[in-house]
A and B are shown apart, each in its own frame.
Chain A
Amino acid sequence: AQKVTQAQTEISVVEKEDVTLDCVYETRDTTYYLFWYKQPPSGELVFLIRRNSFDEQNEISGRYSWNFQKSTSSFNFTITASQVVDSAVYFCALSNLSWGKLQFGAGTQVVVTP
């Protein structure tokens, strides 16, 4: 069975601080895909990244970076120099197919105050 754990329910930071969101997953599949989504106050789920299990390279996109470590089954997400617009709920998800049924974590609420 697949499982995604986001242990942090809420993280509060002051603008310009860095924030790291933890994601730990469980799966018996050798091929799988990991995702991060952002849910801003407007409600829609916004796709951020998809990573397959064979690509352990870290990725950076602007102020966002992701650290994938198969040895610890973790796919952590860091926002550098946070901004108020980063305030949202962030979800980590897992799928055994490239874009199959997604198994989500419970989400982490990020609150960035000025």
Chain B
Amino acid sequence: EAGVTQFPSHSVIEKGQTVTLRCDPISGHDNLYWYRRVMGKEIKFLLHFVKESKQDESGMPNNRFLAERTGGTYSTLKVQPAELEDSGVYFCASSLRQGEGYTFGSGTRLTVV
């Protein structure tokens, strides 16, 4: 079974540009989570999808971040326009059902210069 896959693994963009991160959860997993680790600090929750619906988006930092999960399969996280403080590692995780253990991907390292 394939794990959680994230694209790209690394991205370097200039301040003001747009970047889209993608997460492919484990097939059949309804729950999808986004987290990020900024500047070597703690990993912080961003949001949680159940299928295509946003269950909890309390961790989204501001309106420059837009997460989607069309069709309840893969998810994208768009940052527009990117700022320097958005640099960090963005993790995605998925689980079959809420309340069950979830599997993380390897993350996307985003560098905004």
- Range, interface on chain B: 20 to 34
Least Cβ distance of B19 to chain A in Å?
18
> Which partner residue on chain B sits nearest A44 by CB separation?
B106
The reply to whether A42 and B42 contact each other, CB–CB distance below 8 Å, is: no
Residues in A neighbouring B45, C-beta threshold 8 A: 101-103
B95 within 8 A of A: yes
Among B40, B59, B95, contact of A106 (Cβ-Cβ < 8 Å) = B40
Least Cβ distance of B7 to chain A in Å?
13
The reply to whether A44 and B99 contact each other, CB–CB distance below 8 Å, is: no
Residues in B neighbouring A106, C-beta threshold 8 A: 40-42
The reply to whether A42 and B106 contact each other, CB–CB distance below 8 Å, is: yes
Among B40, B48, B100, contact of A101 (Cβ-Cβ < 8 Å) = B48
Interface residues in A25-42 by Cβ distance below 8 A to B read: 37, 42
Residues in A neighbouring B72, C-beta threshold 8 A: none
- Range, interface on chain A: 20 to 34
A50 to B100, CA, bound (A): 11
Q: Is the interface of A mostly helix, strand, loop or mixed?
A: loop
A37 to B44, CA, bound (A): 14
A43 within 8 A of B: yes
The reply to whether B106 and A104 contact each other, CB–CB distance below 8 Å, is: no
A residues apposed to B, CB below 8 Å = 4, 37, 42-47, 50, 91, 93, 97-107
B residues apposed to A, CB below 8 Å = 3, 9, 33, 35, 37, 40-45, 48, 56, 59, 89, 91, 93, 95, 98-107, 109
A-B contact pairs, 13 of them (CB 8 A): A43-B106, A43-B109, A44-B104, A44-B106, A47-B101, A93-B43, A99-B98, A101-B33, A101-B56, A104-B42, A107-B37, A107-B42, A107-B43
